[in-house]
A and B are shown apart, each in its own frame.
Chain A
Amino acid sequence: MRFRKPIVALSAAGLLALAACGGGDGGSSNNGGEKVDRETLGNVGSGQDPEREGPVEIEGAQEGGIATVYTQVGLTTSIDPSDLYYTDTSAIGSGLLFRSLTQYDRDPETGQMVLIPDLATDLGTPNEDFTEWTFEIRDGVRWETGEEVTAEDVAYGIIRSMDNKTFPGGPGLYFSNPYFLGGDKYKGPFTSGTTEQEAVSVDGNKVIIKMSKPFPDFPYYGSFPAMGPIPEGEDDPDEYALRPMSTGPYKIKEYTPAKTLVLERNTEWDPATDPGRTQYPDGYEFKAGVQIDQIDQIMLGDKGEGQTSMTYEDISAQTYRTMQNEAPDRVVTGTSPCTYYYAPDYRKIKDIKIREALMWALPYNDLMVTGGYIPEVNAFPASQLMAPGVAGRVDIDLFGHGEFETDPDKAKQLLEESGNLGYEIKFPWRTDNDINTKSKDVLIKALEAAGFKATPVATTEAKFEGDIIDNPDSEVNVRSGMGWCQDWPSGSTWIPPVFQSVDIKELGQFGTNYAAFNEPEVDQKINEVFELPAEEQADAWGKLEEEIMTKYLPIIPYFHSGVVVAHGSKIQGYEIDNNLGMPAYKDIWISE
């Protein structure tokens, strides 16, 4: 499944110090369906260019045409900028509709994402200890109504993101409230009923944000649409979610959640003020709820409207095979900074030997084929959580386990030695998902061959998240199909969210630690890394990950994911934003 919900990171790492490490490693998003260079996986978005100015022009690009974008699951979550935190809607939002303090732009030479200014004239100015950030808002930016976007509008948007009760799906809960001064007490304009708070203030055309603790990564957070303007007084949450106001090159013409999103040109958008975005097509039409095989068929067929269509759903291995032969130039591969893993419940599976046996027992290659993944294209063997390319990452040797290696005898031996032969693995099975139903059979066979007892626990696609993933009381003891994506390229957005203990009783859910991993020693070490000087943190995260994985094996890594998508013959410039694993909309145009 597409891992739509990314990231919760509780980072205080000095990312600015890492900025120099990013980029320059060669393209990781390439046309022609070639295999992806593994070394650059996850090595994304750490480049910065605070000097970039608009307007942007793409050589040879033509104006006109409507791009149709097909998706199966998309558009089911809110598109209110304050509530926007899923990879698909984030890419659409920040690429086409909503401007924010900063933005990402894809460097065509390296294929990497580069952080550049957006509404702010630069990437912000911190004070000495990163507890106060100042952004100067540029002139000449207008709402779709023609009115000027003021520093007050931006400040209000940032204040609004602190309302995590009204916007429970948004990033504010993970970044605004924890880091902003007084964010633990002030609950936003709707919940607290006032915009009076300590953190955000305006001085002329400057927005100043005060932190409760050092937040050197703010420029990255500034690229989230939640860190952009909202028109105060016209933003009733229920209504605004259906018709948010645009500041980007496109505005919403028609929007039906889970069905369609039609965008048209926003004539008030001035390219001169925007260092990243372009406005070549006349519009976009997003169609959601289309079945994967139907999307594949449209892409394969390349007829009529299909020629100006694209998708951000991975095409099936079968379609990839055909298109590689017939139309390799219409396949786009790229990376997404996500890792998939199996999460054994640490509270239930206490013996590390069982977890190790599980690692040997899992039928990686069989699951890959049944799941429709294409090894080395959109799935790369993993033996750790952090994707390759993240600064400071150490290649981990997990008990001598090879790439996608399955060894039932070894697993059985481990179970026998530890007296756990016949240990019952209970894992979720989504009965209304055909592929999952088949994968379930594959898993049963492999687990039983390795001396486990395999029991699938029936659920459905819709109840999966609530009943299994987020439910600490579920009877499953291994959560399959879990994934994690980084917020920005730092170990701090990988290790703490997945391995830091969570008070499950208090919270009623796992937070983002789906393995319910809880070791005071590890918690202690995570805090120690945060206290290190910024430049030492990257290596420290790498070392800590190695220690956690080899000492506790809290998760069984499955694969690092890639993206393999397709488009019609008239869509030009379709490349992958490998910070989100989504289309880089800013580069797209349509040929005649």
Chain B
Amino acid sequence: MAITPAALEEGVVADATGAEPVAGKSPTQIALRRLRKDKVAMFCAFLVLVMTVLAILAPVITGAMNIYWDVSHPDAPTGSEVLDVYGFPIIGPPFNGFTWEHPLGLAPRTGSDNLAYLLYGLRTSMIVAFSAAVLSTFIGVVIGLVSGFSRGWVDRVLSFITDMFLSFPSLLAMLALAPIIVSHFGGNLDLLGTVQFVTLIVILVIFGWMSLARLIRGQVLSLREREFIQAAEVIGVPTRQILFKELLPNLIAPIVITLSLNLPAFVALEAGLSFLGLGLSDIPSLGKMVSDARTYYSDYPLFLWVPVAAIGVLTLALNLLGDSVRDAFDPRTRR
């Protein structure tokens, strides 16, 4: 889900340096210390860490457990070995007891292992969300900085573009863009998977940078009037140095906050796009798993609830963590 203006409005950090001064500590250090004391944040961080490790270790875990999401793998069981004529697994849930061979059961009709699929799905989610968050943050910061620092027509043009992207029906546009981008590279099968993957990240970035750009621009506009920046300008410090050496350090807080709130938004959006059937066709994705499992809600509930829970827990943990990060960097929001 795209980050809503409301969440941002609340996250507006009028003055990052306004945190209470403690001798010898940078604002970031102070924020981190505050974060460490926050139990909810620590628990969520732990959850996120566990899921990240699981995602990174997915090949190792599935290898050790001898489970496969990809039914074309030579060692994966064939459909007729593990499924009945109606496509339901003959071992494990939903009709038979728990088995360690397939702790979360097998997918109906294909016999791919749900745990393995889940782990690889997490991997996809995280890679997509992380890449998209970093890239969109980068673009947002650059556009925000340039737009805020350069008065005049550059600012006006950039602001207009930002507003225009904001008034775009982003989900529709993403849905429309994806197949068009892919179709330009279509036909080449070796590339197809990669193209879909990159396309997904690209469209998330295209419609994900605006809020940060606006935020940064606002920050820069106010910082620009501050003495230390004006002094730097007067003594002839090069613009680039002012931007990156003087301004950027003061923008750490909004950047970190946006980044941490964008991560869960991109996780949700990636899953949402594949849920709508227009994401990745041949790469495991949690959203696609939910979409596949929709019709099994009563015959094979576990098949549906596993990916639903995974998306829920991941986005919840990331969001709560992001919220705590915001509180830590800007204590004034906690009223």
Contact = CB atoms under 8 A, between A and B. Distances in A.
User: Do A and B assemble together?
Assistant: yes
B165 to A, nearest CB: 28
A437 B282 contact: yes
B153 interface: no
A87 B85 CA distance: 27
A448 interface: yes
Interface in A363-390: 363, 365-370, 372, 374-375
Interface string B222-236: 000000000000000
Contact of A441 (B71, B87, B189, B296): B71
Interface stretch (B38-46, B74-82, B204-212): B74-82
A173 B76 CA distance: 48
Interface in B46-96: 70-74, 76, 78-80, 83, 85-88
B15 interface: no
A442 B87 contact: no
B80 A318 contact: no
Contact of A366 (B79, B186, B187): B79
B73 A375 contact: no
A449 interface: yes
Given A321-B86, A458-B192, 12 more contacts: A293-B295, A318-B296, A318-B299, A320-B86, A363-B80, A369-B85, A369-B87, A369-B109, A374-B86, A438-B71, A438-B109, A445-B78
Contact of B79 (A321, A369, A434): A369
Given A320-B86, A374-B85, A458 B78 contact: no
A457 B83 CA distance: 27
B281 A432 contact: yes
B34 interface: no
A446 B83 CA distance: 16
Given A369-B85, A370-B109, A441-B70, A431 B78 contact: no
A478 interface: no
B87 A317 contact: yes
Contact of A322 (B83, B188, B192, B299): B299
B232 to A, nearest CB: 55
Nearest to A376: B85
29 contacts: A316-B295, A318-B88, A318-B299, A321-B86, A321-B88, A321-B299, A363-B79, A366-B78, A366-B80, A367-B79, A368-B85, A369-B79, A369-B87, A374-B86, A375-B85, A431-B192, A431-B281, A437-B281, A437-B282, A441-B71, A442-B72, A442-B78, A445-B71, A446-B78, A448-B72, A455-B189, A456-B189, A458-B188, A458-B192
Contacts of A316: 295
Contacts of A293: 294-295
Contacts of A76: none
A321 B292 CA distance: 18
A296 B188 CA distance: 35
Contacts of B80: 363, 365-366, 368-369
Interface of A: 293, 296-297, 316-318, 320-322, 363, 365-370, 372, 374-375, 429, 431-432, 434, 437-438, 440-442, 444-446, 448-449, 455-458, 460
Contacts of A455: 189
Contacts of B78: 363, 366, 442, 445-446
Bin the interface of chain B by size: 20 to 34
B28 interface: no
Contacts of B170: none
Nearest to B187: A458
A380 to B, nearest CB: 13
A442 B79 contact: yes
A459 to B, nearest CB: 8
Contacts of B296: 318
B148 interface: no
Contact of B83 (A296, A369, A429, A444): A369
A317 B86 contact: yes
A322 B295 CA distance: 12
Given A441-B110, A444-B72, A445-B78, A457 B189 contact: yes
Contacts of A431: 192, 281-282
Contact of B108 (A318, A366, A367, A457): A318
Nearest to B83: A369
Given A363-B78, A370-B109, A441-B72, A318 B295 contact: yes
Contact of B71 (A365, A442, A449): A442
A2 to B, nearest CB: 19
Interface in B94-115: 108-111
A23 B167 CA distance: 67
Nearest to A319: B295
B109 A372 contact: yes
Contact of A317 (B76, B85, B186): B85
Q: Closest 7 CB pairs between A and B?
A: A365-B80, A366-B79, A441-B72, A444-B72, A321-B86, A445-B72, A369-B79
B200 to A, nearest CB: 14
Interface in B290-305: 292, 294-296, 299
B182 to A, nearest CB: 9
Contacts of A456: 189
B186 A458 contact: yes
A301 to B, nearest CB: 12
Nearest to A366: B79
Contacts of B76: 445
Nearest to B300: A318
B250 to A, nearest CB: 48
Contacts of A437: 281-282
A82 B140 CA distance: 60
B110 A445 contact: no
B302 to A, nearest CB: 15
